[in-house]
Each structure stands twice: as structure tokens, then as C-alpha cells.
Copies of this chain bind each other. A is one copy, B any other.
Amino acid sequence: MKFIIQRDQLIAGVQDVMKAISSRTVIPILTGMKIEAKQHGITLTGSDSDISIESYIPAEEDGVVHVEQIEEGTIILQAKYFPDIVRKLPEKTVEIEVDANLKVTIRSGKAEFNLNGQDAEEYPHLPKLETENSFEMSIELLKSMIKQTVFAVSTMETRPILTGVNLKLANNVLSFTATDSHRLAKREIPVTDANIEFQQVVVPGKSLTELYKILDDSEETVEISVTNNQILFRTKHLNFLSRLLDGNYPETSRLIPEQSKTKLQVKTKELLSTIDRASLLAKEERNNVVRLFTQGDSVIEISSNSPEVGTVVEEISVELIEGEELKISFSSKYMIDALKAIEYDDVTIEFTGAMRPFVIRPLNDDSILQLILPVRTY
């Protein structure tokens, strides 16, 4: 195997693939990176068996040559040193050559590294996904759906299914739902031209977080295909494969109240910074609890106290208060997460009493929903 590659292209590919490689894997060969040279281009692969990432660098693209003098072959390289080596090489091109004894030589300018490679035969075969049953969406939209939901997954392994985001595609609507049983985040978008439907595809939150980091805003669309136990996100240069979580995702629609007793409309940023301030003294306590009181028909009061440290109180003028007077306590962290996920200037919050879940939505947009269970403090 041999090829000469543009260093910048190699750096970008290695950086993407490294996101799937863990030094703590139980399968030693997975601490390595697979490098496959074909005449049409170079494929880098990394995997921790939950997530697998392939990055493809075409030999030529839009008339620009990325890779030259390709002699085909495959090798596994220790991933621990490779990213630093590539990043610190002196010249703009890198030559990688493998001899019959799996010795890998990396040359750039006058610098020469000789590393021990491993036989690619020992690397596990990644499942090939049929991509006929797939749908496309914009990368920007996918990233926004991930960002608006993934923070609400459970971090506790007691109910593993809740550590994932539930994807559902039916009646031309794609929805992402995440809940840790104390709060819930949901986002829906219309999808056209999808030739598949599914009720329950639970993707580990960790996979979506990595996918979010790796998806390149400069590319336009991502193709998504699903099987029983895998999901594949495919862009022009990237294959991102994740296992799915086993088990039944709970039915969440009945959690969402259909009526409300008190309704607020408020500036998102103002509420966010007030709750952020109120939470400062509550740091120590587990839930960072803050209180919200309605005051007449245009003011709410946010407060918190921590007996050892002190108290904080602040009033906000709101756009609208409708319905019953309300005194409620909730986790400031959940509220801050929810408000940050809603990228609108104004939100409505609908309450059905101090002990029932309440719902936060952008003003005049039902496609995003954030639900929070209050905390009993009286």
C-alpha cells in the first residue's frame, strides 16, 4: 500500500474518525484506525463497536487532486499517535507506505516515522446497511433536532432505553423525543419523499452527540437509513453508523397535558437570565430548585434560597398571564436547558397546577415542545 495525500484532507478525515475510537475498548484492534487505499480514494475507519465512522477522501474532487500515486492496500495503525503525527508534519503533503512486514512509513519533508501496523484482516467487518429504505434531510435541520432534544436523555443506566432519543417517522412527520422521566424534549418536522416509516428507533444519546459534532455545516444533506439494530447517517464524505437501543420506548404522548390552568407568555432571554441568576445560590443543592410566583396580571417573581448562603429574588414583566394564580417550584437546570433549546425570542408556558408537568413552547410554533415536572416544596 502506498499513497501521497494532502495533509489538510488527511487531518480532517483523521479528526472525524477519531471520534469513534476509544483507548478503553475491550477489543484491542479497535484502538487502531483502518486505512484503506483504493484507486478512487482513501477510506479511514474507526469504531468502538457502538459507533463506527468512515471518512472518505476521494483521489480527485471537482478537478482538485487530493491523493496521488496510489498503490492499493489496507492497514491498521495505532490511533493513539497518528493524529498528532499528521497534525505536526512539516509539509503540505504526506506519503504513507506499508511494506510486506506491515511496517508503515510516514514521510513529509525530511521527517520520517516508522510505525508498526497490524493486519487489516483482524479488524472486524462493519455491517453493510441497505440504503434503499432511506430518507434525506438537511444537515442543518438534523443538527437542530439533535440539539433540541438530546440534552434531555437520561444519564442513568437504570432504564437504558431512556439514554436514547426516540426517532419516529410516520405520516410524513419525523419526530425526535427524549426524556429522563423528569422532563421531556420533543421536536417534529415534516418529511417528504420518505419511502420508509418507523414507530420506534432509539438512538443512543452519545451517538447523536458525536454525530452533531462531526456533521459539517458546509455539506447540505444527510441520508438516513435504518435497520432493526443499526442506523446509518451518510453524507458525501462520511458514513456514521450507530447501534440502536433494545427495548420499548415508553409512550410519552399521554404525559403531555391537553389543557392548562395558567398560561404565560414571556421573553425567552429575560426568563433565561433571571432563572440563571436565581440558580446561582442553589448550586449546592441537588436540583437547583427555583420558585415562580405569578403577581397580578403582568409580573412574575423568580426566587430561590439557600439557608447557608442567602436568598435571591427578581421580578420580570411578562407579556401575558392568563388563568389561575400560580406558585410552583422546579429545577432551574431543566428550565435553563429547555429555554436554551428553544431558539425563539418568545415562549409560552402552560401550567396545570403546582404539581403537574408544565409545557414550554415557542410562541406560535407547535413543532418544539419542552415538558418539565415540578418539584414539591410545600
Contact = CB atoms under 8 A, between A and B. Distances in A.
Interface of A: 78, 81, 84-85, 88-90, 104, 109-116, 273-274, 276-277, 280-281, 283, 308-316
A314 B277 contact: no
Given A84-B280, A85-B280, A314-B111, A309 B78 contact: yes
A294 to B, nearest CB: 16
A89 B81 CA distance: 46
Number of copies of this protein chain within its complex: 2
Contacts of A111: 274, 277, 312-314
B113 A81 contact: no
Nearest to A85: B280
A25 to B, nearest CB: 18
B312 A281 contact: no
Nearest to A305: B114
A293 to B, nearest CB: 14
A113 B310 contact: yes
A110 B310 contact: no
Across the A-B interface, the 3 shortest Cβ-Cβ residue pairs: A115-B310, A111-B314, A113-B312
A103 to B, nearest CB: 8
A88 B310 contact: no
Contacts of A78: 309
A88 B280 CA distance: 9
Interface core residue of A85, A274, A312 (most chain B CB under 10 Å): A312
28 contacts: A81-B280, A81-B281, A81-B283, A81-B309, A84-B280, A85-B277, A85-B280, A88-B273, A88-B277, A89-B277, A90-B274, A109-B314, A110-B314, A110-B315, A110-B316, A111-B274, A111-B312, A111-B313, A111-B314, A112-B312, A112-B314, A113-B280, A113-B281, A113-B311, A113-B312, A114-B312, A115-B281, A116-B308
